[in-house]
A and B are shown apart, each in its own frame.
Chain A
Amino acid sequence: MHKPNLAKLRQKRPSQGGQDVEPHAQTERGNPSPRVKMTSRRPKHRQNAWQRSKRDRVLLLMVLPGMLLFVVFHYLPLLGNVIAFQDYVPFIGIRNSPFVGLSNFQTLFTDPAFWNAVRNTLVITALNLLLFFPVPIAIALLLDSLYHDRLKGFIRSAIFLPHFISWVVIVALFQQILGGAGVINQFFLQQGWDTVQIIGNESLFKLLLVAQVTWKDAGWASIILTAALASIDGSLYESATVDGAGYWKRLWHISLPGLRPVIILLLILRLGDALSVGFEQVLLQRSSVGPAAGEVLDTYIYYFGVQNGNWSVAAAAGLFKGIVALSLVLAANKLAHKLGEDGVYTKK
């Protein structure tokens, strides 16, 4: 879709000059003089901040609404984390609540329910890494080995779809299929077999969560890996085959190394989310198994803070989580740099 447009515009430039753009340009707001302002972009002498901001005022105005949203709904709440160091009482507000140092963190770290939530969270993260993480890689390799374009396209769109389904619906779908009165148990009953309890089973709960994540996101997560596979130079495979390498050898020595940077990137991003496992997903199902098996850090913060009114301690838990997540990402990124990979960001 892009190509024809580009070509048309390119051709227009030398032949037609500004004839068809100019009339509109003069009516545009924020462009009082339709003079050519090419030079202003690379000034010969350095302009001061005032001149530069005046020159770029249209751009700045455009950025303004987005930045306002970031400041109000991301940075303002960051400041709101001070209540983690206060004995916050909603009635008197942040300004008048007394500071109590680190005592909220003390309360938090001596609360067994908090450590239970941390443990559950880490177990779920580990299960995710072990059971979910390899699936998109396998899917990408499988799709890459299909050479029928329409089939490939069909399967790809089928497995992308669940990514866009809400957690409420997914939990409902899983109940309908696996629940006590679900399709599978109905089938078992009709056959005269025993029913199996999957939903609401404490010991299976974490595996159920991983299964749901896999159903929802495995296909979608394969998209970026598929792209990385497609960018591998085909002549590598060709010469390897000529040298006698079979499918699995090529997979091991060409495909997987080609995926390495993307896999490392995804691992780092996962690490940053280590302490926030599917909040909505768990919140929706916690009641089916109770807090002992179903509490994760985010649901702990929600129930303990918003529901029970322990604002300050819950904010301390949130701050703890944020700081740990940030340090994990920074550390993993440093490690990636040491291993010669780009990681999430590169030093410039």
Chain B
Amino acid sequence: MSKYATNRPIWMERPTVLGRVLKSLILVAMVVAVVFPFLVVISTSISSPESISRAGGLVVIPTDVSFDAYAEILLGGVVSRAVLISVGVTIVGTLLSLTCTIFAAYGLSRRGSFGHGPLLTIALVTLFFAPGIIPSYLTVKSLGLLDSYWALILPTAINAFNLVLLRNFFLGIPSELLDAARIDGAGDLAILRRVILPLSKAITTVIAMFYGVAYWNSFFSALLYMTSESKWPLQLILRVFVLEGQQIGVSGEAPPPQQALQMAIVVIAIIPILVVFPFVQRHFTKGVITGAIKG
């Protein structure tokens, strides 16, 4: 075997040269299509004014690096405030969502417990019938949550899909383990904390990321519920400055070009995801799939 040893089963015919070339081309195209836009955005955000104007607006490969755009944006002002709001909503929201989902999933993971069937149905029905924009808005309004940060959290705080995913995983944990813990005198809280959760790290991480990403990325709920611009999260600010092209207020005698500022906001909106993603992605296939297929 060469150094390109693979797990190709022995019955599989050797790939033809043409097949290999075609396959490689497709794979390279796929990866480039994903990576290239990120490259352009990051390069432009760290380029100096001269190289941006030389390139005509967008830079693919940065020549001279400058972090002025980030300094400008993060040292106070509209964008920094929006970042703080988004970070706060994401952290509080994810913690709340995860807590509610874990408790609910455990509470629904014992067949034959009181109200098990009806309660599960209450959760499942929400998957098939969305309440609609107008009634949701009126509900949030009548609860007095308009323009409150809770409006960005509570309406989407629990997601039936995540709940079912976690519950299915809990159901798959051998009941002997739970019985053993119960014989040892553990109550439900202790079982959840000492037996179930340590066994569910992968899936819990994945679900935490689902919730976190949803809060960080959500833009419509803020558009709908947040009436004062001073409470807008990052995604809305991004829309105003990048998509609608509103000028970003800058100070100093040699401010970074708008192009770099815009791309810096985009990068700030992506960074948390780029940071978290590598740690979580190896759990995707394990955690998500086992749950999804059984469900």
Name A residues whose Cβ lies closer than 8 Å to a Cβ of B.
1-2, 5-6, 9-10, 12-13, 17-18, 21-22, 24-26, 28-31, 34-38, 41, 49, 52-53, 55-56, 58-63, 65-67, 69-81, 83, 94, 139, 142, 145-149, 155-162, 164-169, 171-177, 181-183, 186, 189-190, 215, 219, 223-224, 226-228, 231, 234, 237-238, 241-242, 246-247, 272, 276, 279-280, 283-284, 298, 301-302, 305-306, 311, 314-315, 318-319, 321-322, 325-326, 329
Which residue on chain A has the smallest CB distance to residue B56? Answer: A186
**Smallest CB–CB gap between A156 and chain B, Å?**
8
| Shortest Cβ-Cβ A-B pairs, 5 listed | A31-B187, A66-B104, A18-B184, A318-B132, A80-B135
Partner of B238, one of A66, A169, A228, A302: A169
Is there an interface contact between B103 and A62, defined as CB atoms closer than 8 Å? Answer: yes
Does A66 contact B100, Cβ atoms closer than 8 Å? yes
Residue of A nearest to B157 (CB): A69
Give Cα A298 to B157, complex, Å: 22
A29 CA / B187 CA spacing, docked (Å): 8
Chain B positions within 8 Å of A52 at CB level: 113-114
Interface residue ranges of B153-202 to A (CB < 8 Å): 154-158, 160, 163, 174, 176-177, 179-190, 192, 194-195, 198-199, 201-202
Say whether B92 faces chain A, with CB atoms less than 8 Å apart.
Answer: no
The answer to whether A183 touches B60 (Cβ under 8 A) is yes
Stretch from B4-12, B63-71, B73-81, B247-255 contacting the other chain: B4-12
B135-A318 in contact (CB<8A)? yes
Q: Which applies to chain A's interface (DSSP): helix, strand, loop or mixed?
A: helix
Interface contact A223-B288, CB-CB below 8 Å: yes
Instruction: Give the residue name and chain of the A residue nearest to B28 (CB).
Output: A155
The interface of chain B, by Cβ under 8 A from chain A, is 4, 6-9, 11-13, 23, 26-27, 30-31, 33-38, 40-41, 44, 55-58, 60, 99-101, 103-104, 106-108, 110, 112-115, 119, 122-123, 126, 128-139, 143, 154-158, 160, 163, 174, 176-177, 179-190, 192, 194-195, 198-199, 201-202, 209, 213, 216-220, 223-224, 235, 238-239, 242-243, 262-263, 266, 269-270, 273-274, 277-278, 281-282, 284-285, 288-289, 292-293
The distance from the CB of A19 to the nearest CB of chain B, in whole angstroms, is: 8
Q: How far is the CA of A242 from the CA of B9 in the complex (A)?
A: 13
Q: List 10 A-B contacts (CB under 8 A).
A: A6-B177, A9-B195, A67-B119, A69-B157, A157-B281, A166-B219, A171-B243, A183-B40, A302-B224, A322-B130
Q: Is the CB of B134 within 8 A of A305?
A: yes
Q: Which of chain A's residues have a CB closer than 8 A to the CB of B238?
A: 168-169, 172
Q: How far is the CA of A28 from the CA of B218 in the complex (A)?
A: 38
Q: Who on chain A is nearest to B236 by CB?
A: A168
* A60 lies within 8 A of B58 (CB): no
| A142 and B27 within 8 A (CB) | yes
When the two chains form their complex, are residues B185 and A25 in contact, meaning their CB atoms are under 8 A apart? yes
Query: Taking A66-B158, A155-B27 as contacts, is the C-beta distance between A227 and B293 under 8 angstroms?
Result: yes
For A231, list chain B residues within 8 Å (CB).
293
Nearest-CB residue, chain B, relative to A53: B114
Which residues of A have CB within 8 Å of B129?
A: 78, 322, 325-326
- Chain A residues with CB below 8 A from B126, complex form: 70, 74
Residues of B with C-beta under 8 A to A166: 216-219, 235, 269
Contacts of A78 in B (CB 8 A): 129, 131, 135
Q: Is the CB of B103 within 8 A of A63?
A: yes
A94: chain B residues at CB < 8 Å are 138
Contacts of B192 in A (CB 8 A): 62
Given contacts A158-B35, A227-B285, 7 further A-B contacts (CB under 8 A): A77-B138, A158-B30, A169-B269, A175-B243, A181-B57, A183-B60, A223-B288
Q: Which residues of the partner chain A approach B99 to less than 8 Å between Cβ atoms?
A: 65
Please determine whether A1 and B134 come into contact, CB atoms closer than 8 angstroms.
Answer: no
Query: Do A80 and B139 touch (CB < 8 A)?
Result: yes
CB distance from A94 to the nearest CB of B (A): 7
B107 touches A306 (CB 8 A): no
B198 touching A5, Cβ below 8 Å: yes
Q: Which of B44, B122, B139 contacts A70 (CB 8 A)?
A: B122
8 Å CB contact of B138 from A80, A175, A280: A80
Question: Nearest CB to that of A50 among chain B residues?
Answer: B114
Q: Is there an interface contact between B180 and A177, defined as CB atoms closer than 8 Å?
A: no
